[in-house]
Amino acid sequence: MTNIKVCQLEKALNYFDYPPELTAAEKDVMRQRKMKKHDVAIMLVHWFNAITWIFMLFTGAALIVSSFYKFAPDFYINIVRGMFETPGNLIEFHIWLGVIWIFVFLAYTIFGYRKYLRKQSLKEIPLKKSKDIFDKFKAIQCILFGNSALCLDKKDFLWLKIRLLGILGLSNEPLPPQGSFNAGQKLYGLLVALMTPIIMLTGLIMAFHLGPLWLIQWSIPIHFTAVGLVVSGLMIHVYMGAVFPEEKPAFFSMLTGNVSELFLYKHHFEYWKERIVKQCEWRKKTEPDVTLTDILPNSLAEKVMKKVEEIGDIEEEKPSEEETLPQKFWNPYFAGVMLGLLFLFTYFVYGRGLGASSFLSRTGTYLWSLIAPQYTHSHPYWSRYFHNGHTPLGNFMIFEVIGVIIGAYWSSKKARRAKIEIHKGPGISNKVRIFMAFAGGILMGLGARIARGCTSGQGLTGGVTLSVGAWLFVFVAIGIGYLSAYIFRRYWL
Amino acid sequence: MIAPIFKQVTVSIEFQYFLAVLIGIAFGYILERAGFGNARKIAAEFYFDDFTMIKVFFTTLMVGSAGLLFFNWFGWLDLDKIFIPRTYIWGQFVGGAVLGAGFGVGGYCPGTSIVSASSGKLDGLAFVAGAFVGTMSFGDIFYDWLKGVYMGGAMGRFTLPELFGINAGVVVFFVILMGLGTFWIAEKVEKGTWDPYKKIRKEPRKIIER
């Protein structure tokens, strides 16, 4: 094993389109070995959904009494109504269970989407690359789910065809191997994902009379049609999961979260391959002398070994540049809009702008006051921070800058820019750069005090409020900035 | 008028400080994402290769000034109750000049140096230390000497509409026009080949993207 690279194994496994036959003993070993398929959260959501649907269908069918839509027999409607005593209770039960269902699903979507569904970002989805209709369809689904394991592709339609013909006894072709979900599950998933929001929305419109009359009236048939579509899929889903003998382990996996390796091997061969590669990667790290036969059955291990020898030595794939380099900076206009909105928010709430430099003078004065309180309290400039019993640290600016430190560190950490380094022009040494930065800081600190604020506190805050002095300050600072940059050009270029 | 909210309703000082920290986090986050933790990116502004700073600056001014005006028109925000920096012509003129000189020397401004130091840049840290010394020197050393300049040209709360005697909306319109014009020039120069510093560059001219 130590002489096989993970990528070699991956490539060798991909030569097998269909699961090779195993001996009975090997099958037994595989049947004993369990693999985790579902998270606890997913199982909880699944069973919550199942129970809610049972109750909703049960009460919903009894709610439809208008002769145009009615499909349940009268005695059923009477029994259910009898159980709830009044029709009003029945409607309230249906509505409030529906509202709870919507809340749980909203919470699941908001908190669970990134964890359980979204495995790829929008950028990775090949939207425009292919003209093939199947690829386009897949890309649209990937935008919806953000996870290619859930999207139907060309192979899946072949699976559906063979599966259907197989059930009808017209074909005995082997099914194309499947990923973690088979095509039927994916198709049903797509149907549910499209219909659920419609059911929720029309249900809310009907229950709380949101919108004009025509909208409420149209909601009724749309609600029924959407539910009908889901139910038609639900029948197959329940039949496949609970009754159809071949898919039995899938049903139990929804209770325990685990499924036997043999089931994955036979029914989700593509997914099994992924799991084996991951297992190999992980076991190679923890047990250096693990062999291929520890992971795969003997007969299969032999076949894979042969393939590996055929492939020969290949390079381990390196993580792409995009994953190791710092992230790109934001588009400046976007950053500007965000900053503008932040200023507006601050003005809206506090009636003031943002700043930075007075953090330094306030902390400095505070430190001074610890050493020489007499001096600071009677000083013509520093005493301003003690007016009316105020303290230099008890100010918006202090807390805002503490936030800036946190926010800047958080952002740089996230963008892989947080590291100890020195930014400087190519022609100067680190020592010179540090000295220049210190000197520039002195000028900046002094200038900010003379002007009553720095680029943020005077330039931006005064700029958005159209203060005459601030606009003068901005133009002078930029103008002198260009002049000063010209003088110090050899330090930067 | 419901805003400024904290001047209309009483809110505990702890909550005000807590929200200030959150606003600061957003401020630091946006500045870092814009690239202001990088002195070379800021300095590149002055050498005509990367106009990020001016673009962010003017976009903020456009959004902010137009937004305040709209808030007032909608009857949400009372502009008489918000803080507008007072105008002291000489103080802002001289202060702006000294601060501008610091840009070329140090490459940061106080806010961005804090951002830079927070992400581990030692030059940013040195700059913050320098800014601290400079700030304190104003009160401790130069105050008597600079008092005339600091207080010079006091005009109080004085805004551009008052200066030109026109409606604030017209002023904001011109601010937006000026911003768009600046963006147009900045994009032209960034993409073009005009480069007054061509001869002394040791590295090719480029926009710092990461």
* Residue pLDDT, tens place only, A368-389: 999 988 998 889 999 989 888 8
pLDDT in tens, A412-425: 998 989 889 999 88
Q: Is residue B136 part of a domain?
A: yes
**Residue A138: band (very low, low, confident or very high) from pLDDT cuts 50, 70, 90:** confident
Residue type, A141: Q
**Rounded Cα distance, B141 and B160, in Å:** 34
Domain holding B66, by residue range, is 5-200
Which residues of B fall within a CB distance of 8 Å from A404? 24-25, 27-28, 31, 111, 114-115, 118
**Residue B101: band (very low, low, confident or very high) from pLDDT cuts 50, 70, 90:** very high
Q: Is the pLDDT of residue B105 over 50?
A: yes
B173 touches chain A (CB under 8 A): no
**Residue A253: band (very low, low, confident or very high) from pLDDT cuts 50, 70, 90:** confident
pLDDT score at A125? 57
Q: Is residue B209 part of a domain?
A: no
For CA atoms A428, A431, A433, A436, the dihedral sign is negative
**Residue B170: band (very low, low, confident or very high) from pLDDT cuts 50, 70, 90:** very high
User: Cβ–Cβ of B93/A457 closer than 8 Å?
Assistant: no
CB A257 within 8 A of CB A229: no
Who among A443, A464, A486 is closest to B134 (CB)? Answer: A443
B104 touches chain A (CB under 8 A): yes
Q: Is the pLDDT of residue A35 over 70?
A: yes
A432 touches chain B (CB under 8 A): no
**Rounded Cα distance, A125 and A135, in Å:** 10
- Alpha helices, DSSP H, located in A287-417: 292-295, 298-311, 321-324, 332-350, 357-371, 373-378, 396-414
Who among A340, A410, A453 is closest to B59 (CB)? Answer: A340
Residue in A closest to B77 by C-alpha: A348
**Rounded Cα distance, A246 and A250, in Å:** 9
Contacts 24+ apart (CB under 8 A), A103-112: A104/A45, A104/A48, A105/A196, A105/A200, A108/A41, A108/A45, A112/A41, A112/A45
Residue in B closest to A454 by C-alpha: B110
Which residues of A fall within a CB distance of 8 Å from B104? 440, 481, 483-488
A34 touches chain B (CB under 8 A): no
**Rounded Cα distance, A309 and A163, in Å:** 36
Q: Is residue B205 part of a domain?
A: no
Residue in A closest to B210 by C-alpha: A328
pLDDT score at A4? 67
Q: Is residue B207 part of a domain?
A: no
Q: Is residue B145 part of a domain?
A: yes
B206 touches chain A (CB under 8 A): no
Over residues A431-448, mean pLDDT: 93
For CA atoms A338, A341, A345, A351, the dihedral sign is positive
Which letter does DSSP use for residue B14 in this model? H
Query: How far A123 CA sits from the closest chain B CA (Å)?
Result: 18
Q: Is the pLDDT of residue B52 over 60?
A: yes
Residue in A closest to B81 by C-alpha: A351
Q: Is residue B206 part of a domain?
A: no
Q: What is the ipTM metric for this complex?
A: 0.96
Which residues of A fall within a CB distance of 8 Å from B120? 412, 418-421
- Write out the two tokens for B201: 């560059």
Q: How many domains does chain B have?
A: 1
Q: From the options 3.40.50.880, 3.20.20.140, 3.40.640.10, 1.20.950.20, give the CATH code of A6-311.
A: 1.20.950.20
pLDDT in tens, A67-97: 777 778 888 888 888 888 888 888 899 999 9
**Rounded Cα distance, A345 and B71, in Å:** 11
* All structural domains of chain A with their residue ranges: 6-311, 356-419, 422-493
Q: Is the pLDDT of residue A321 over 70?
A: no
Q: Is residue B20 part of a domain?
A: yes
The region of weakest confidence among A134-138, A155-159, A420-424, A431-435 is A134-138
The region of weakest confidence among A51-60, A156-165, A345-354, B55-64 is A156-165
Residue in A closest to B174 by C-alpha: A466
Greater confidence, A357 or A13?
Answer: A357
- Write out the two tokens for A437: 């930065």
Q: How many CB atoms lie within 10 A of CB B75?
A: 10
User: Cβ–Cβ of A450/B146 closer than 8 Å?
Assistant: yes
Q: Tell which A residues from 395 to 414 touch B, by Cβ distance under 8 Å.
A: 396, 399-413
A211 touches chain B (CB under 8 A): no
**Rounded Cα distance, A34 and B161, in Å:** 75
**Residue A1: band (very low, low, confident or very high) from pLDDT cuts 50, 70, 90:** very low
User: Cβ–Cβ of A451/B91 closer than 8 Å?
Assistant: yes
Query: How far B127 CA sits from the closest chain A CA (Å)?
Result: 5
- Alpha helices, DSSP H, located in B49-167: 52-73, 89-106, 110-118, 122-137, 143-151, 160-164
Q: How many CA atoms lie within 13 A of B145 on its CB side?
A: 7
Residue in B closest to A440 by C-alpha: B106
User: Which range, A132-146, A157-171, A285-299, B113-127, is most confident?
Assistant: B113-127
pLDDT score at A16? 78
A479 touches chain B (CB under 8 A): yes
Who among A338, A418, A448 is closest to B95 (CB)? Answer: A448
Greater confidence, A139 or A106?
Answer: A106
pLDDT in tens, B7-44: 888 888 889 999 999 999 999 999 999 999 999 999 99
Residue from B30, B125, B145, B150 whose CB has the most chain A CBs within 10 Å, to mutate: B30
Phi and psi based region of residue A219 (left: phi greater than 0; alpha: psi -120 to 50; beta: remaining): alpha
How confident is the prediction for chain B on average, in pLDDT? 91
The SS3 of residue B165 is: coil
A385 touches chain B (CB under 8 A): no
**Rounded Cα distance, A38 and A21, in Å:** 27
Query: How far A103 CA sits from the closest chain B CA (Å)?
Result: 28
**Rounded Cα distance, B9 and A165, in Å:** 72
State yes or no: cis peptide before B4, omega within 30 of 0: yes
**Residue A252: band (very low, low, confident or very high) from pLDDT cuts 50, 70, 90:** confident
Q: Is the pLDDT of residue A265 over 50?
A: yes
Q: Tell which B residues from 176 to 195 touch A, by Cβ distance under 8 Å.
A: 183
